[in-house]
Structure 1
Amino acid sequence: MIKNMIFDMGNVLLDYNPQNYVKAFLHSEEDQDMVLTSLFGGQEWLDLDHGLITEREALKKMLQKLPKRLHQEASALFYGWQNYTRPIESVNLLAIKLHRAGYHLYLLSNTGVRLHVYAHRLPALQYFDGVVMSADVQQVKPEPQIYQILFDRYHLDPKECFFIDDCKQNLKTGEQFGMHGYLFDGDEKKLESALHKQKVNW
């Protein structure tokens, strides 16, 4: 029986679209591409998720890849991109309904420490029973260690968990533990149908 709902964050609870963030700061497509690649597409961004580097260290390395004329905009984007995110209202509302129906909610996300800055943007997060973010534990999905941390920290039986993520590989690891998984593609109605098939009702 499903008792616990495990949510990813990016593109599940919160829209994550770096292309749109870059457009808010730069007009030239060439400049947008350079900054997008340097900030969001490099090893430094992955290291931030992994908790292996500070934001200051990451930005310094990122700026070294860019011409000086873009440093000001790139720095502003690095520290302010979260201001351009929006919660996915339908999934946040569903999470709140599930909480009120008695299910336990948990967040399992690959994210840097900046989550602590923009967590208030997620209406449902106040109802969550626990959070495991990669930068805090220095493990990332789909590595099995971060899943084990979630199970151990909150005393969860994987077979009683329903895991919602937008990445197949992340779900595959969860399923190896025995979790029920669902690949979210933005269609909340299909998600609701998948939950009902697992006898999850609200």
Structure 2
Amino acid sequence: MFKAVIFDYGCVISTEQVKHEIEAMVDLIKISEDTFKSYYYQYRLEYDRGISGEEYWSKVLSACKVDYDQELIVKLINHDLKSWTVTNQAMLDWAEGLKKNGYKLGIISNMPKDILKYMRENFSWLKNKLFDTVIFSCDLRICKPDPLIYRQCLDNLDLSPVECLFIDDSEINIQAAKEIGLNVFHYRGLEDLTTLQAMFVK
């Protein structure tokens, strides 16, 4: 019997990355989308561990061999932020229902400071403490799939791995969670929410 559900943020609590914001970043840099994504993700874990947006985008733009200034970096930070901050309301509604039924809730997310700052200022579900613990990589300077980030969440919840269900869209993160004993659900899209809901019908 589960006592807690632990959520990833990106593509689980949030929607998939917003396409037109990706296109806006590509248009600003004037390179192919494939090249952009390659360098965007090459340095992403460093950003998620806590380097500044300016440092992250300087690395990306230098790798892309693009001339840049501070104005361009500010625009990219803004589009990137917007691309990850559309929430999946159906998932949040389900989380609220779980909370009312006595389950503990957690988040483990790889998250850069710029996006997290916006979320903390604007998302009511973070302000009202819907989640019993929220673990963001930029705060700990540790990213999934490092087992330490999962263990920190479990310590905060005061629960064992077998008492928790972890939901993530990344196979790498799912496997790491399984290795420390967490129950896992590999989330692939909103159609999976019905399956999740059925797992908690009493």
What TM-score results when the alignment is normalised by the length of structure 1? 0.81
Alignment-mate amino acid for residue 104 of structure 2? H
Matches within 5 A, 1:148-167: 148-167=151-170
Matches within 5 A, 1:28-107: 30-31=30-31, 33=33, 36-37=36-37, 40-43=40-43, 45-51=44-50, 53-65=51-63, 66-68=65-67, 72-84=71-83, 85-107=85-107
Deviation at 1:27, TM superposition (A): 4.3
The percentage of aligned residue pairs carrying the same residue is: 26
Deviation at 1:41, TM superposition (A): 2.6
Change (3 A) 1:79 1:179: same
The match for 2:195 is 193
Taking only aligned residues, the RMSD between alpha carbons, in angstroms, comes to 2.9
Deviation at 1:81, TM superposition (A): 2.2
Change (3 A) 1:8 1:81: same
Unaligned runs of 5+ in 1: none
Whole-Å separation in 2 of the counterparts to 1:98 and 1:107:
14
The match for 1:116 is 117
1:12 aligns to what SS in structure 2? helix
Deviations 1:19-66 (A, max 9, x none): 5313235548953538834762332x2201123x22232233333334
Deviation at 1:108, TM superposition (A): 0.4
Whole-Å separation in 1 of the counterparts to 2:195 and 2:72:
43
Deviation at 1:88, TM superposition (A): 1.1
Deviations 1:117-175 (A, max 9, x none): 22455554431111111111121111111111111233221111011100122112222
Segment drifting more, 131-140 vs 27-36: 27-36
Whole-Å separation in 2 of the counterparts to 1:38 and 1:20:
18
1:86 aligns to what SS in structure 2? coil
The count of aligned residue pairs is 197
Whole-Å separation in 1 of the counterparts to 2:172 and 2:39:
24
Deviation at 1:195, TM superposition (A): 4.6
